[in-house]
Each structure stands twice: as C-alpha cells, then as structure tokens.
Chain A
Amino acid sequence: MMWETAILVGLLFGGVCFLILQASFVRILFGFILLSNAANLFLLAMSGRPENRAAPVLVGPNGPMVDPLPQALILTAIVIGFGVIAYLVILLYRTFLDQRTANACELFDPHRERPKGDAS
C-alpha cells in the first residue's frame, strides 16, 4: 500500500501544481480543493502500513492497530481546509463580480485601468 499511496500523493500534487498555475478562477479553485485532499492523504500515509492492522477502535479483537493520531490530525485539517476553501469561493466570486473577469492574467494586467467613478 505504501508505494500506491506515494504514487497517488505524487500524482495529486502534480495535478495541483498544474491546476493552480492556470489562469481560470475555476481551475485555480479546483487546484486548491485538490491540494487540501492531497495533503490529507499524505498525512494518512503517516499512520504507517495498514496491512494486518485493525481499525483504531478499542472494542473488538486485540492486536496491532493503525496509528489513530494522523486521523485526528486529518479531521482538524479537513475542517480548516473546508473553511478556507469556502472563503476562497466567496473571494473569487466577489472578485468576478467587481472586476468583471474570471481570468487571473487579466485581473493582474498592469495596463488595466481602474474604472472611472469607482470609489478610491
């Protein structure tokens, strides 16, 4: 399982790099959603090999269990990641409404003029 997880995490991070570096807001957004998932999967891999180990539940057969701590960490990370992604969605949406573009290259074009009549 270790190699499969490593390859998957690598692929996910590669996809993240590709998506975040795109100009379209929607792709950037998907990039960040994928990013938090890639990091969470990476954390999960820190539990060690899951083969021949039980879930970390105290009732049931005794024997080696997987390390439960990374799972607790992931739970926290998911909540935080969700909050930040929600903020990102709103920020990108407001930027789209205010600036009338959904393209990051256009947004930061230095030749773009501030619209007349806009509050300074």
Chain B
Amino acid sequence: MTAVLLALPILLPLITALVSLLAGRRRSWRRWFVGASAVAQLGVALVLAHGAYGQPPQVLALGGWAAPYGIVLVVDLLAAIMLALGAITALAAILFGYAELSVHDEHPLRLSLVQFLVTGINLAFCTADLFNLFVAFEVMLIASYALLTLESDDWDIKQAFPYLALNLVGSTLFLVAAGLTYGMFGSLNFAQIAERADALVGTPQLNVLALLLLCVFGMKAGLFPLFYWLPNSYPILPSPVAALYAGMLTKVGVYVLLRIFGQVLPPDLPLPHLLMAWLAAATMIFGVLGAVSRNFIRGILSFHILSQIGYMVLAIGLFTPYALAAAIFYIVHHIIVKSTLFLVGGTVVVLNRTDDLAKTGRLWLVTPVLGVVFLLQALSLAGIPPLSGFWGKYMIIVEGLRQREWVLVFCALLAGVLTLLSMLKIWNGAFWASTAKEGVHIEDSRWRPMTAVAAGMTVLSLGIGFGAEFFLTVAHEAARQLLDRPAYINYLLGGGS
C-alpha cells in the first residue's frame, strides 16, 4: 500500500493539471478542485515524511521493472522533506493567488501550469535515475517557461529570453552529462552509478564528470557565475507564482547537488568540493551586492535568493555530515522564509500599487501586521537569533571554523551583514517612509487574506526557529541517510523492494 503512495506526489498534480485544463469556463469549480488537490498533496507529503523517518528509503519500481533496468522512484527522508516543503509552498502560493485575483481575472491556464510545475519538481525529488531526472527538469522548466510569459506584458517579456536561453544550454549540458555517465558506468540508475563510481576515485574522468554535473546543477541552482538568468526574470512573474519559483526552483538545483554529490558520486572528490565552496562564497557576495544595488522589492528579493543559495552550496562544499545536515536545515528554513517575503512583496504591490521603493511607504502606520510579518522574515533571512535563519547560518559557520576556512567564513558573515542592510532598505522604503506616491489603498480589502497567508507561513517559520532542535534532528537523520551509500546501494539493488 505504501509503495503506491510514492506515485501520488507525481500523479496527483499531473491529474489535477490535466483535469483543470478541461474545466474551461467553470472557473470557481477549478479553484476549488485545485485547492483541494493542493491540500491532498500536502497530506500525502506529510504521510510520506512521517513514514520516512528512521526507516530505509521507500522504493517503487515503476511498471514492476526492478531497479537497475527499470525506473524506480525512491523516497528517503530528504526527498520526503522536500516534497512536504514543495506542497506547503504550492498551497500558500495558490491560496495567495486566490486572495489576490478575483476568479474572473485569473488567467485560465495559470493553475494548470502551476500544477505541471509541481509535477516536475516532485518527480525531480523522487527519481533515482539520471535520465528520468532530466525529464523531470524538462517538465518543470517547460511549465516554468510558459508561466513566465503567460501574464507578462509586452515590455517585460524580453526578460524571458535569457531565462530560456541559459536553461536550454543547461539542459543540453545535462543531456551530455547523462550521456557521459552512461558511457562511463553503463547505467543511469543512481545506485548502480554509485556502486561503480567508487572504482574510479581519483581518476580525471570522474573529476570531469563531477565538474560537468556541478556546472549543470549549479546553473539550475543559480550559482556564480551562471546566475544571470534569475534576478531579472523573477520580478516579471505575478507575485504568487514568483513565491513558488523563489521557494522551489533553485532549491531543486541545490537538492540535486546534495543528492548527486552526497550519495551518487563518491565522497573523495576534493577538487569539485573545493570549487563548489569557493563558487558559493562568490555567489553569496555578488548576490547580496546585487540586492543592495536594486531599488524595488522583488528585485532585491530575487538577488537574495542567489546569496542564500551560496550558504547552502557552501555547506555542501564543506562536505562533512554536520555540514550536509546544515545545508538541509538551511533549505527548510529558506524555502519558507523566501516565499513568504515574496508574498509580502505582492501584498505591498496591492497596497501601494507599486513595489518601487521610491514610491512606496507608510505601510507601518496602516498595517502593522504586515510590518511584523515582514520584519520577522527579514530578520530571519539575515540570521538574527532565535529565528530560523540563525540556526542554519550558525551551523554552517561553525563547520567552516572547524575546517579552518577563514576566508569562506568571513564571506558568509559579510553576506549576512549586507543582507540585513538590504532588508533595511525595504523596511525604510516601504514601511517606514512617511510618504507614498499613490497613497495606501487600505480600502482594497484583498490585502487582508493575502497578509493572512503570509502570516501563516511566518508562524511556520517561527516554529522552525523555536523548534530548531526537532528540525535539526530530522536534518541530521536525513544527512546520515544520504551519506550511507552502501545501505542505499544494497537497498536499491539487493532486492530490498
């Protein structure tokens, strides 16, 4: 019974997307259907996460073809955590979208495309096959291309071009990397690659493959110097969709980096790990400098995604069990906080009719609730204790000090300070400023449910901050499971299913 459950995170959104395509003009029916499905997906993800703790990974051989030859779906604790986070973010984005637009203003394709996007994301989390991962990325990317241009205006649409071009190049490199992997190992199954890769430790071939994979997934994650596609394209999205993108898309890249480098490739790859750590430091610094230089909320937040990606990838680059647990904890914290900040940005747009910081203002006077939500999340992003961002940063910095990587630690601390600076910029411009060019449209009652969704996410993030011990235990367990390669190989190939 539980094995069938593994297919649901992929089947549910796929079926939802297809059915809501057929809904035609029954717009409110479609809203109820997609909303109910998002809740059901969250339920499935939570059941899977509950079942994954302390257990060996659950395996579903699709079509009954067992591991090395068939395609298998594997849900271990890390994948289950990511599925749950994806479901939470998607639910929040969908509810926020319902609050933002009346049922007649909503583009009829938006909900379907969001569900296709979720299908791709979930497949990327569950799959244990490199080529299937490629297909998952393509499902996700094609849905994201369509969503990016669906509601953009005639001027902004050009920003979709760099997004498409870079991701197209990235996908092709992924295809080449998958081909090379097959050529080297004669298999695309994660467990089989892991089994055969150990014999090649220290050879240039394995290093080249690792660097190619780092390049591919670094591009998806938004790692320096391949991040240029991100900060200009996210601001053209409608705010709920931007929240989903900001929460999930780059984190799929980070998740795959964790999966590939932590589990599939052998742990003795000093050169790629070192490169990863230094690229991460550069990402942090350049991302946060970009954020400081911007003067509209979504632009600042988009650059921040990059800077935060830097922390997670730095943790993967340090590559100790403790650092990987820190990376997992950081992902959990970041997805919730980042998408909430984008939701707050969307609410500011509704209230001030713009998110240009020169024209926004007076929000603290009018809606202190929104101010508190923003403040909590912004301080959490900057890493002020006892909020959730502090614990992730603390763990990463402790591990950096243990490894005596002084420069990397300095970069991380500097990026934290600059994060605070750019958050202050939003705070001063939108909440503290005494004038707003177009006034505050408080009579537009949409802001109440919108703020409620953001506040719900904030409660969740506060829970992560104050219940850090529980989440850290889970993250350590997930990292332990990830690094236990012999058990994974045995389980997948040794008839464990």
Which residues of A are interface residues toward B (Cβ below 8 A)? 20, 28, 32, 35-36, 38-40, 42-43, 45-46, 69-70, 73, 76-77, 80, 83-84, 87-88, 91-92, 94-95, 98-99, 104, 107-108, 114-115, 118-120
Contacts and interface: CB of A to CB of B under 8 A. Distances in A.
14 contacts: A20-B165, A42-B175, A46-B180, A46-B182, A73-B175, A73-B179, A76-B131, A80-B142, A88-B168, A91-B161, A94-B149, A98-B158, A108-B158, A120-B153
Given A20-B165, A99-B158, A118 B153 contact: yes
Interface residues of B, number: 29
Chain B contact residues: helix, strand, loop or mixed: helix
A14 to B, nearest CB: 14
Contacts of A91: 145, 149, 157, 160-161, 164
Nearest to A36: B172
Contacts of B175: 39-40, 42-43, 73, 77
Contacts, number: 89
Nearest to A101: B158
Contacts of A38: 172
Interface string B151-171: 001110110110011001101
Contacts of B146: 87
A73 B131 contact: yes
Nearest to B154: A98
Interface of B: 131, 134-135, 138, 141-142, 145-146, 149, 153-155, 157-158, 160-161, 164-165, 168-169, 171-172, 175-176, 178-180, 182-183
Contact of B182 (A32, A39, A70, A94): A70
B396 to A, nearest CB: 36
A35 B176 CA distance: 11
A67 B182 CA distance: 11
A98 B155 contact: yes
Contacts of B153: 118-120
Contacts of B169: 20, 35
Nearest to B353: A120
A74 to B, nearest CB: 9
B155 A118 contact: yes
B139 to A, nearest CB: 9
B142 A87 contact: yes
Contact of B135 (A28, A40, A76): A76
Given A35-B169, A80-B138, A83-B142, A98 B179 contact: no
Contacts of B131: 73, 76
Contacts of B160: 91
B157 A95 contact: yes
A45 B180 CA distance: 10
Contacts of A36: 172
A70 B161 CA distance: 30
Closest 6 CB pairs of A and B: A98-B154, A46-B183, A43-B179, A39-B172, A46-B179, A39-B175
A76 B171 CA distance: 13
Interface hub of A36, A84, A119 (most chain B Cβ within 10 A): A84
A79 B215 CA distance: 24
B134 to A, nearest CB: 8
